[in-house]
Structure 1
Amino acid sequence: MHSPFFFLHIPKTAGTTLNHIFAARFPEESICSVYTKEENEFLKNISAEELDRIQLVQGHIFVHDFDEFFSGFLGKYAFTFLRDPVARVISEYNFLRTWPDNHLYRYLNDEKVSLTEYVSSQRPELIYRGKNLMTRSLCGAVDDGRSMLERAMENLQRLHLFGLTERFDESLLMLKRMMNLENILYEKHNVRKKRSKVTEEELAVIKEYNSQDIQLYDFAVELFEQRVNELGDDFKSELSLFKKMNERYQRIAALLMEQNKDDEDFIYGK
């Protein structure tokens, strides 16, 4: 039995863009997505035969839900992406308020939940929202007397690789090497164009309720920089070339999208 790659997709860390990249690189039947309760139950009870056909597991997977995986091959083949905690929380809040298909959409809008309330509320619907999500995703369920943050830092180092949203291209090149990917040119997906202004008071609340995520992210940035430096000048040259190629690819993709839109407008008389 081979060991699949595990993508621990923390919401609003460029995971949708990554999933589009993977969809073009792996056969559909070899990808196991874990975004619903039913999909989580399937993975927890997956048989060795079923697991053998899987090359990639992707989804909102918390380490504490899959400690049995993490203690085995998950440490060798798992990866995740982190993002500046303040930016991640703001993005998550805005996304959930504007995405009608998510289960919090009506609640956030009907109750007129503010950003501050979203982060600080202890109501059942929001008690785990906007509060140290990255740390909780990575800390595991082991009760060894250490803090959630300490366990998350250790597990982050045990992952085969982690990336940073703010340094996406470097992270993607590392992922290319790890997964032996070929073409990794990409378009950005699930990106909000309009950003609402955030007050100093709102920023203060986000930082208060995400202090562990902020420490985890600072730790990750330092470790990430160290790993990039260890890759040397060849990696920097590869990165420079990739950026140029992908900028050109994104421009072409944007032109094609605009052309398709113009064609649709003409066909439907818009």
Structure 2
Amino acid sequence: MSQDDPTISPPPVQLIFVHLPKTGGFALHAALERALPAGSVLRIGDSAAQQAFAAMRPGQVAPYSMVSGHFTFEEAKARARPGARFATVLRDPVARLVSAFNYMSTWEDHPLHASFRNRGFAEFIADSGQELAAEACRQLTGRDTAAEAIPVLESHYALVGTTARLPDVSQRLHQWLGLAPQVPGRENVTAGQGRMSLTSETCEQLLELTREDRKLFQHFASRHNGLFIHRACSGV
């Protein structure tokens, strides 16, 4: 986590990037961080950084041009600079969970690798249902259903993109931060495939626990063609 640097003069717009895991968000973060001054980015990654962020006061977060990582909308909203622009990227939730499982089960340095290396996908879904149900809705808005989450995203977020529109998302965020646009590279790429055990029961469980997140994803993929920009920011 970067330390405050009083010599840095942050741009008037603070970007809050709520990173839903396995959506290409780290590649986007890396592209933006490379272009920003050293010390102007606050990255929230592992559990220790999450705990530290939860203990920060708004005045400690205000100097950063970009705050990015695995925190909730509510945690960030309570600490963001007034007028901060919130952004996030969505991915088809079934594909996202498959990618997350493969990532945890095959990357030896992942903090949860020991728990997942000998587990099958069916076990992952059966054991983690309550944690995974409506995960995107809850992290991005604090709501449990797509019907409740969509209005929050459309009123409080400056941008909501899908993975298919990642280059467009990157271009707009670079623009808001006063940076020359860059195309995100590939970061945190899943190294291999875990034990993809599947049963009919697993498929039923998977569709049930992703039901609300699939509604959320389809709304932005279809209604907004994969790239929602708040009307207040559309001309900026």
Same-fold call, TM cutoff 0.5: yes
Distance 1:101 1:47, change over 3 A: same
Q: CA deviation at 1:223?
A: 3.6
Q: How far apart in 1 are the matches of 2:138 and 2:228?
A: 26
**Alignment map for 1:132-171 (pairs within 5 Å):** 132-140=134-142, 148-157=145-154, 158-171=156-169
Candidates 176, 186, 209, aligned match of 1:178:
176
Q: CA deviation at 1:61?
A: 1.2
Contact 1:86 1:203 in 2 (8 A): no
What is the TM-score of this pair, normalised by structure 1? 0.69
Q: CA deviation at 1:138?
A: 1.7
For residue 99 of structure 1, what is the amino acid of its counterpart?
W
Give the aligned length.
218
Q: CA deviation at 1:119?
A: 1.6
Q: How far apart in 2 are the matches of 1:152 and 1:97?
A: 30
**Alignment map for 1:219-230 (pairs within 5 Å):** 219-225=219-225
Larger Rg: 1
Confirm or deny that 1:92 pairs with 2:100. yes
Q: CA deviation at 1:193?
A: 6.5
Q: How far apart in 1 are the matches of 2:111 and 2:32?
A: 26
CA RMSD of aligned residues (A): 3.1
- 1:174-220 CA-partner distances (Å, limit 9, x unpaired): 32333332040332222236557675734443222110110010111
Candidates 56, 61, 79, aligned match of 1:51:
61
Q: CA deviation at 1:154?
A: 1.6
Structure 1: gaps (5+ residues): 142-146, 232-270
Partner of 1:205: 205
Q: How far apart in 1 are the matches of 2:151 and 2:43?
A: 26
**Alignment map for 1:1-270 (pairs within 5 Å):** 4-47=14-57, 49-69=59-79, 73=82, 76-109=84-117, 112-121=118-127, 127-128=130-131, 130-140=132-142, 148-157=145-154, 158-192=156-190, 194=192, 199=198, 201=200, 202-225=202-225
For residue 120 of structure 1, what is the amino acid of its counterpart?
A
Distance 1:127 1:159, change over 3 A: same
Distance 1:150 1:50, change over 3 A: same
What is the TM-score of this pair, normalised by structure 2? 0.78
The structure with higher relative contact order (CA 8 Å, sep 6+) is 2
Q: How far apart in 2 are the matches of 1:4 and 1:79?
A: 11
Structure 2: gaps (5+ residues): 1-9, 232-236
